[in-house]
Amino acid sequence: MKIAIVGLGKVAELHAEALRQIGPHIFAGGWSRSVEKAADFCRRFGGVAYPSVEALLADEKIDAILVATSTDSHFEFAKRGLQAGKHVLLEKPLCERAEQIRELADIAVRYDRICMPSHNYIYAENMRRLKVHIEDGRLGDIVNFWAIYNKRHDASIGEPDLTMRELMVHHAYCMLFFLGRPSHVYATGTNVHFDDKQAHDQLMITAEYADGRIANLWGSFSADDRSREPWSCYFKVLGTEGSGVVAWDVTKFGEASIPFWDDATYWDSFLQVEQYFLNECLAKASPPLSTLADAFDAAVILDAARLSLVEKRRKEVAYR
């Protein structure tokens, strides 16, 4: 298999490093709007620096592409990749609008290609094992779920919807992975850190289920948790017969040039998502652990949370 990358930013580096660990010749190259960035990226990771997206998609040696550009161009490049006969691994947030995710699903079926969300958190082995124990009933009836994230980011990055779009999307697809669809959400947010005072840097979403379960999704770009057992990135499931927890901050190394760049769990999740994409989806035609349908549901949940923030009331999630 050969994979090329469209968009060569920081996240692309994690994917390229993961591909290099899987096999030395899997990464075929990439394209960036900056010719200099593409050339530098391929000097460091190998492969061809393609002069255009058209040239990349026309290369018959390439089996799949990773789309790692900004969110506003995800739909365009994923669509073009599928129409060119390439499988697509699509970074999150997948698209600007939920309807675009459904359109990509239709296109993937039409061209008989796989379009897999890069919902990397759930591909971590300990997350997958926790899901197995839940499905086997070892935790009894699930009562509640917690997804917690605390990591201080530079205050200058703040803009309206950033925390919801870039952070809470992880919480939403993890919630769906463990519990399925909630019926209602209530969201609240504040600004205590970002320079842009119209931008929330702390968000809480409470999701309710028809059977009484509750999911609590907390995300903050405002402060680090420096306590002994930090809730930097933390998932907990409580059941009537048992409970499970998955925490980051287990293995740390080097300097964090950007938040979590020093966390092995974060790095490993990219390796695990690439391994599943290659070894299960492409080689065996297995479905992704988090599908485009799940990505659509996550987008709809976050849209309901956005309305809840504005209206300051509980909102029903309209899965349409």
Token pair for residue 229?
């057992």
What is the spatial distance between Cα 23 and Cα 135, in angstroms, rounded to a whole number? 33
Mean pLDDT along residues 215-230: 96
What average pLDDT score do residues 77-98 get? Answer: 97
Query: What confidence category does residue 298 fall into, taking pLDDT thresholds of 50, 70 and 90?
Result: very high
Residues 180 and 67 in one domain: no
Domain harbouring 174, CATH code = 3.30.360.10
| pLDDT level of residue 94 (50, 70, 90 thresholds) | very high
Residue where one domain finishes, among candidates 60, 90, 117: 117
In a shared domain, residues 286 and 166: yes
Are 97 and 149 in the same domain? no
Number of domains in the chain: 2
- Average pLDDT on 282-300 reads 97
Q: What is the mean pLDDT of residues 266-289?
A: 96
Residue ending a domain, among 91, 117, 143, is 117
Residue 259, pLDDT score: 87
Four-point Cα dihedral 309, 260, 175, 239, nearest 10? -120
Residues 151 and 291 in one domain: yes
pLDDT cut 90: percent of the chain above it: 97
- pLDDT value, residue 264: 93
Residues 201 and 64 in one domain: no
User: Per residue in 239-257, pLDDT tens?
Assistant: 999 999 999 999 999 888 8
Q: Which of 69, 89, 117 is the last residue of a domain?
A: 117
Evaluate if residue 210 carries a pLDDT over 90.
yes
The answer to whether residues 15 and 90 belong to one domain is yes
44 and 104, same domain (yes or no): yes
Residue span of the structural domain in which 312 resides: 122-316
Query: Based on the domain organization, do 130 and 105 belong to the same domain?
Result: no
The C-alpha atoms of residue 153 and residue 70 are separated, in whole angstroms, by 19
171 and 109 together in one domain: no
Whether residues 148 and 72 share a domain: the answer is no
Low-confidence winner among 86-90, 205-209, 224-228 (lowest mean pLDDT): 224-228
The pLDDT of residue 256 is: 83
Position 320 scores a pLDDT of: 83
Query: Does residue 202 have a pLDDT over 90?
Result: yes
Same domain, 144 and 244: yes
**pLDDT tens, residue by residue, 95-148:** 999 999 999 999 999 999 999 999 999 999 999 999 999 999 999 999 999 999
User: Does 91 lie in the same domain as 154?
Assistant: no
Average pLDDT over residues 274-284: 97
Report the CATH number that the domain containing residue 78 is assigned in CATH. Answer: 3.40.50.720
